[in-house]
Amino acid sequence: MAQWADGYISESTYPWGYCRQASPAWLAMAALLAGHRPPALDRPFTWCDVGCGQGLTPLGVAACHPQATVFGFDFNPSHTDNARVMAAAAGLGNAHFHEISFEALADAAPGAYPPMDFIVLHGVWSWVSAAQRVHLSRFIRDRLAPGGIVYLAYNALAGWAAMLPVQRLLRLMLEIEPGPPGLVMRRGLDMMAEIQARDSEFFANNPVVARRLAFLAKQDLQYLPHELLHGSWEPTPFDAVAHDMSTAKCDFIGSATLLENLPAFATPPKMAELVARTGDIRLQEALKDFGAGRMFRRDLYRRGGVAPPAGEINARLDELVLMDLGHDEQVELKIQTFGDQGLALRMDVYGPILRRLRSGPMPVAELRRAVGDAHVTVEVISVLAATNIAHPTPSPQPDAAQMRATAALNRELDRHNRQGGAIHFQMAPCLGTALVVDAIETMIVQAFGDGEIEALVTRLMSEGGRPLLQDGKPFEDVESHRRAWRTLVETFMKQRLGLFQRAGIIQPG
């Protein structure tokens, strides 16, 4: 364990992940849906990720928003080195990465960093000590601009409480027999399975633990140590977080997990009745977490919690534009609720909206006129975004700077994958976020030319292309290899090309 790590796992780097809920377009939409004015995205703004890991989210924000000044802060030098190399290769001069501790960040001189319009903390708060959380609160207090938004994601106590002894045992095994974090994690999961098999009363009294462990056993062993092996691991109740944020002059305004803002989807119906009986936001959120057994929260805080007039918010919402994400028309659209079946969308309400979205970007003003009610409009937008049917688009027609920056970053992501990496994202300038893709799709994007299938297959098979494998082995002949590529390209052209063009990843025509 590195001495500088303060109990944090530093022996393995954090996976390359992108958090769409932390992107400026999503945060601005979420703030408006919660009835609050977000920072404007059509002018220069500042955005920072504290504990940014490999930095893919800030890299994407910088590429999609050339007018923004973007910061990524992380104390792991491997993370900031990787992020800086990627930013330089993509020519992202507006992305700045700093290797720095939370204490040094909080203690920085007043002019060291500009006021921040957005501060993002994803997967940090529950994994650091109380002293580190004080430093984070001080940074937010001193750096968040008036009207600025904080995205704070953390493990919720209600959903993780039964796992506290499990995490402590896993950490104890690391202390007793240190080793590579992935190996220690594997040994720990095996130990828990043996404990369960030996008629442990702990498992009998906590049946949810077996389900949690079964889920964790299927996850990436590169990631799991970052979830469960840190010296400080403290799933946190909402009221404790809200108290700390109040010291930073920030007020809770809602969740970036949009359906959690809607009573019908936030907790079981009988619990919703109990939630409605209290006017205290701390108790409301605690009850919702109990009802849902919530494991993870994505809270939004704002410096300045008094909401502006509803008319202003409605006017700003009307300016929002939604873009279709290419849902499968043959699949019944459902929202996961607290029963087994899920809640099917009312097609008398959503059917016309889905057909309209397929014809092109849809302003919320048009949506409001269609549904005829402000509250229903908020619910429809939340459902469309949360179910990946649609996404807000800050730039339906991105300018040349956005197209150049995102194309350059996407080229570097493909290069990273060709060299053995595994980044499953491409930046979409029309959406201001990233789309989840597979490695083959990143290759197709970079090889895409005039769209003629045979020419595209030839480019993919040319020198520098990654060969396909059949049952883990190279194809025996060129024609079989070509047919396999042709099948992949035809599937992409049929199922994904339209979305990639609408999102700005591939230019139409």
* 6-52 pLDDT per residue, tens: 555 555 566 889 999 999 999 999 999 999 999 999 999 999 999 99
Evaluate whether residue 58 is within a structural domain.
Answer: yes
Same domain, 246 and 198: no
Indicate whether 252 and 381 sit together in one domain. Answer: no
322 and 470 housed in the same domain: no
Which candidate, 467, 507, 460, 509, places its Cα nearest to that of 486?
Answer: 460
Do 340 and 196 reside in the same domain of the chain? Answer: no
Looking at the fold, whether 124 and 171 belong to one and the same domain comes out as: no
Residues whose CB falls within 8 Å of the CB of residue 402, separated by 6 or more in sequence, listed in order: 63, 64, 65, 66, 395, 429, 504
Q: What is the rounded distance in angstroms from the CA atom of residue 5 to the CA atom of residue 160?
A: 24
Mean pLDDT of 235-264: 96
- Does residue 388 fall inside a structural domain? yes
The pTM (predicted TM-score) of the whole model is: 0.93
* Domain count across the chain: 4
User: Which residues lie across from 296 on neighbouring strands?
Assistant: 155
* Cα gap 248→245, rounded to integer Å: 5
Q: Are residues 183 and 245 in the same domain?
A: no
**339, pLDDT greater than 80:** no
Residue 286 within a domain? no
Residues 75 and 178 in one domain: no
Q: Are residues 101 and 245 in the same domain?
A: yes
For the sheet with 390-392, list strands across it: 362-363, 321-324, 390-392
The domain of 380 spans 311-392
Pair 247, 361 in one domain? no
pLDDT band at 341 (very low <50, low <70, confident <90, very high): low
Flag whether 274 is in a domain.
Answer: no
Co-location of 388 and 439 in the same domain: no
Q: Does 11 reside within a domain?
A: no
- 196-228: pLDDT as tens digits: 999 999 999 999 999 989 888 888 777 888 888
Q: What are 425-477's pLDDT values in tens digits?
A: 999 999 999 999 998 899 899 888 766 888 888 888 875 556 787 777 888 78
249 and 101 fall within a common domain? yes
- pLDDT (average), residues 248-275: 94
Say what the pLDDT of residue 96 is: 98
3-state secondary structure of 100: coil
Distances (CA, A) of 398 to 183, 283, 430: 46, 43, 6
What is the C-alpha separation between 70 and 96, in angstroms, rounded?
6
252 and 103 together in one domain = yes
Sequence-separated (6 or more) residues with CB below 8 Å from residue 386: 257, 258, 259, 335
